[in-house]
């Protein structure tokens, strides 16, 4: 079978045409990158794990009435998704301080935040994805005030669902990055897009604080696949 034309190639995923004009197929690759591609490595089967973990989370969120782009998993590496226009912002939710907030603001790593913190980063590799304010989003037309309000609400609800879900599996949801899009079939409809996986979250074992996410690769802490398999296994995903 001829391979389909790649419409978009990201660091860890590709998008190709779907079976109709309002769908796409999202393909999970084995590439892991960090520090804006300064670090890059292939981990055999990472894409398969992320595809299944993201499917599990998208289905959970759908059951909680959060609209997503996810339609179904097609096979080990591919999912059918609804086509949307991606808002060029990385929406980050933090529950515990770690990563860039610590280096940027001198906050202690592991500090539990009094309430979830919402941050916005412009998706622009050439600028190293700079942090921006809500006002920037509105003023430069990346999202309307109404869209930002909706996205903030959805982000907090997603955070609430995921904190509880991971907690039952002995995992602390430290932070995560999500993306949203406007459905091609209805531009007014905002949906959760992209993926939610250990590539885009910080997940710590509740007791030992062992890292079960991409920080294992970023910081060279051990075997990335073992960490992702641990997450998949705790979520009850057979790999």
What size, in residues, is the chain?
239
- Per DSSP, what are the bridge partners of residue 88? none
Contact call for residue 33 and ligand TMP (CB under 6 A): no
CA-to-CA dists, residue 12 to 136, 154, 193, angstroms? 27, 24, 14
Closest residue to ligand TMP: CB criterion: 99
Q: Cβ 90 to ligand TMP, closest distance in Å?
A: 6
Ramachandran region of residue 115, left (φ > 0), alpha (ψ -120 to 50) or beta?
beta
Pair 122, 216: CB distance under 8 Å: no
Which residue among 52, 69, 177, 182 contacts ligand TMP (CB under 6 A)? 177
Contact call for residue 23 and ligand TMP (CB under 6 A): no
- Per DSSP, what are the bridge partners of residue 201? 176
Contact call for residue 228 and ligand TMP (CB under 6 A): no
CA-atom Rg of the chain in angstroms: 17
Q: Which stretch binds ligand TMP (CB under 6 A): 1-9, 46-54, 94-102, 157-165?
A: 94-102
DSSP state of 94: E
Judged by CB, which is closer to ligand TMP: 83, or 177?
177
Judged by CB, which is closer to ligand TMP: 18, or 55?
55
Q: Which stretch binds ligand TMP (CB under 6 A): 1-9, 13-21, 60-68, 170-178?
A: 170-178
Restricting to residues 124-163, which ones interact with ligand TMP according to CB under 6 A?
129
Judged by CB, which is closer to ligand TMP: 123, or 187?
123
Which residue among 13, 56, 82, 202 contacts ligand TMP (CB under 6 A)? 202
Judged by CB, which is closer to ligand TMP: 178, or 183?
178
Pair 138, 148: CB distance under 8 Å: yes
Contact call for residue 92 and ligand TMP (CB under 6 A): yes
Alpha-carbon span 203 to 174, nearest angstrom: 6
Q: Which stretch binds ligand TMP (CB under 6 A): 48-56, 74-82, 99-107, 185-193?
A: 99-107
Upper half-sphere CA count for residue 183 (Cβ side, 13 Å): 16
Judged by CB, which is closer to ligand TMP: 18, or 228?
228
CA-to-CA dists, residue 48 to 28, 53, 123, 217, 228, angstroms? 7, 9, 25, 17, 10
Q: What residues make contact with ligand TMP under the rule CB under 6 A?
A: 90, 92, 99-101, 129, 175-177, 200-202
């Amino acid at each position: 079978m001829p391979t389909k034309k790649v419409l978009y190639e990201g660091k860890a995923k590709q998008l190709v045409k779907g079976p109709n004009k309002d769908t796409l197929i999202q393909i999970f690759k084995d590439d892991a990158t960090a520090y804006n591609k300064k670090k890059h490595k292939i981990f055999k089967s990472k894409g398969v794990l992320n595809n299944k973990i993201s499917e599990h989370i998208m289905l959970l969120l759908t059951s909680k009435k959060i609209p997503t782009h996810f339609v179904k998993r097609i096979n080990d590496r591919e999912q059918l998704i609804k086509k949307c226009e991606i808002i060029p912002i990385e929406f980050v939710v933090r529950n515990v301080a770690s990563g860039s907030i610590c280096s940027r603001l001198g906050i202690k790593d592991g500090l539990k935040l009094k309430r979830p913190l919402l941050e916005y980063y412009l998706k622009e590799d050439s600028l190293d994805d700079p942090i921006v304010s809500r006002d920037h989003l509105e003023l430069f037309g990346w999202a309307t005030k109404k869209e930002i309000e909706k996205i903030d609400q959805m982000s907090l609800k997603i955070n609430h669902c995921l904190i509880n879900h991971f907690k039952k599996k002995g995992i602390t949801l430290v932070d995560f990055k999500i993306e949203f899009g406007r459905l091609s079939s209805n531009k007014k409809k905002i949906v959760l897009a992209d993926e939610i996986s250990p590539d885009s979250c910080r997940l710590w074992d509740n007791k030992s604080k062992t890292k079960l996410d991409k920080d294992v690769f970023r910081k060279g802490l051990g075997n990335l696949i073992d960490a992702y398999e641990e997450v998949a296994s705790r979520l009850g995903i057979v790999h």
